[in-house]
Structure 1
């Protein structure tokens, strides 16, 4: 066992977490001599064994704590990093999701996490996600205006427009259908106006 700082996981007596992202479980029984030769078992007021982490679908690593899957980066942040502003998310500064050292983690808001991903890590922004209000989002509006301009002024296919704008085909298709609805509603208003006169 190296000299990394160990602290008890909050709310448990039988789990420890280290500052470099390793999680240990207290053994109920004294291990055999053969097991003790393994580097993963060490003695600190009782015998401890390192838990084997496993990846989840998003690339983060987890361990089982009291039968519940727990993300290691959240364990490390909750144990070692103060969170006076009660920020809800833990950000990996270098963008590597399985690098759970204390130096690589920080508490952030959802917005700060997104800004870090776009500005520092060079990730593309998502256009019109579930939590955004599609056409009210400034980035989406600029993209939709560009797509509509290309649809009206060029003979490009929707696939070519998607490639030119750096977005997916469904975004172009959605923009095209929105434009159709707008044109139809304008036509109905004109028709109604002429019938009144």
Structure 2
């Protein structure tokens, strides 16, 4: 049975309420770990130590230790407070911030929906459209021109206010591959084919955007093996052709 708890908002929190007003927060025992309660704002309380637990980062997400077992924090919140009638397997962060585990920022989703959402809000897009981009496409063009001219990576990083070693990724792993500079080796960049040749265009787009076929399959909602058969010509599918056409022409 879920319980409700009135938590007085303190000065330490990032928002204020009129004096005497209380903020209603839901909380419930965690299934399988009944010595712990979880609140809809993400806090986890231990009834053994009588204190709130700290979260730990893992691959961008947050985890919490329950009975010596590391659990994904966002899944605990979703399992406790968000209905999942369609039994969707994944939990999506609506704003794209993996550490924002308030229940209002979470939703159940399929793998395809999760991948499409990440693409739509820019989490898997290249260049300046990526949410972690430190420079613009124009600045990266300037950076690559400086690299071509032989300027030291450390000097370029200092000029643009980048952390040390940032350009090592650009050079050694061919980061920002969609920006091509004549004379600067870029094995991933190829001339853009005509969209009328949809298979050739799709292959070019996957290489340019550095997105796998499997992720594209999730985005357009098709089976990965079926998409591969279509792109390799083993079994061309009119339905996949239409989905690709709609995706690239939207």
TM-score, scaled relative to structure 2:
0.43
**1:22 aligns to 2:48 (yes or no):** no
Rounded Cα–Cα distance in structure 1 between residues aligned with 2:184 and 2:106: 41
Q: Residue in 1 aligned with 2:100?
A: 99
Q: Residue in 2 aligned with 1:172?
A: none
Q: Residue in 2 aligned with 1:162?
A: 188
Rounded Cα–Cα distance in structure 2 between residues aligned with 1:104 and 1:121: 17
Classify the secondary structure of the residue corresponding to 2:92.
strand
Q: How many residue pairs align between the two structures?
A: 118
RMSD across aligned positions (CA)? 2.4
Unmatched 5+ stretches in structure 2? 1-6, 9-23, 127-181, 191-206, 211-250
Rounded Cα–Cα distance in structure 1 between residues aligned with 2:81 and 2:114: 19
Rounded Cα–Cα distance in structure 1 between residues aligned with 2:30 and 2:106: 17
1:50-89 correspondence to structure 2 within 5 Å: 50-56=52-58, 58-89=59-90
Contact 2:61 2:98 in 1 (8 A): yes
Return the structure number with greater relative CO, CA threshold 8 A, min gap 6.
Answer: 1
Q: Residue in 2 aligned with 1:36?
A: none
Shift of 1:5: 1.4
Contact 2:65 2:71 in 1 (8 A): yes
Rounded Cα–Cα distance in structure 1 between residues aligned with 2:37 and 2:83: 18
Shift of 1:11: 2.0
1:30-45 correspondence to structure 2 within 5 Å: none
Unmatched 5+ stretches in structure 1? 29-47, 126-155, 169-197
Classify the secondary structure of the residue corresponding to 1:159.
coil
Classify the secondary structure of the residue corresponding to 1:27.
coil
Rounded Cα–Cα distance in structure 2 between residues aligned with 1:117 and 1:167: 14
Contact 2:33 2:66 in 1 (8 A): no
Cα gap change, 1:122/1:52 in structure 2, threshold over 3 Å: closer, same or farther?
closer
